[in-house]
Amino acid sequence: MPDFTLEHAAQGWVAGVDEAGRGPLAGPVVAAALVFLRPCPPTLLAMLDDSKRLSEKARLAAAQALRAAAAEGLLAYALGAASAAEIGQINILHASLLAMRRAVLRLPLVPSLALVDGNHGPNLPCPVRCVVGGDGKSLSIAAASILAKTMRDAGMARLALRWPAYGFARHQGYPTAAHRAALLQHGPSPHHRRGFRPVDEAFARQRP
């Protein structure tokens, strides 16, 4: 389970940074940056874990609790995203780093350290420490992973209302069999990512 070991080893405000949506064929990649400003209730901390380990119900409850804690001044967070078009232009790795940078720059403070999930870190105005599997080690990263995941899922549900043929609300743009079948049948939408083979092949089929 994640804890504050990495945060306590540093001085000053420590931001946890994580992203959601590197693997999908469609939609943006979304990042969150989060800083715990004051001690939080143990009941909230017990809700936090790597977002992938939580059920959808548990993720949504944790995200709601984090937003409430932010309203009380216990923590600060910010979100950043990179669009499908940007992913196609600069590739998913660089787009993920761009989304992370945008999230950190939107925080109301400059962290003394950013703990970034994974082995690549964005260019930031503060030191960066990459932590592989960080969402399972750091409570700050785990909290950021929950906010990034739930916000992206909500965005994909809204996108599904405009593009119902693809089923975005069910698979969030990931390459499920149903999504691949819809891509074959309907062709790519403006929110599908170039640079991903199934999408590039669908674009190629549209050429005269």
Q: What integer pLDDT is reported at residue 110 of this predicted model?
A: 96
pTM comes to 0.95
pLDDT along the chain (208 residues), means of 10: 95 96 97 97 96 96 98 98 97 98 98 97 97 97 98 97 96 96 94 95 80
Q: What is the DSSP string of the chain?
A: --BSHHHHTS-S-EEEEEEE-SS-SBS-EEEEEEEE-SPPPHHHHTT-S-GGGS-HHHHHHHHHHHHHHHHTTSEEEEEEEE-HHHHHHH-HHHHHHHHHHHHHHTSSS--SEEEEESS-----SS-EEEETTGGGTBHHHHHHHHHHHHHHHHHHHHHHHH-GGG-HHHHTT---HHHHHHHHHH---TTBPTTSHHHHHHHHHH--
Domain spans of the chain?
5-162
The CATH number of domain 5-162, selected from 3.30.110.70, 3.30.420.10, 3.10.20.30, 2.100.10.30: 3.30.420.10
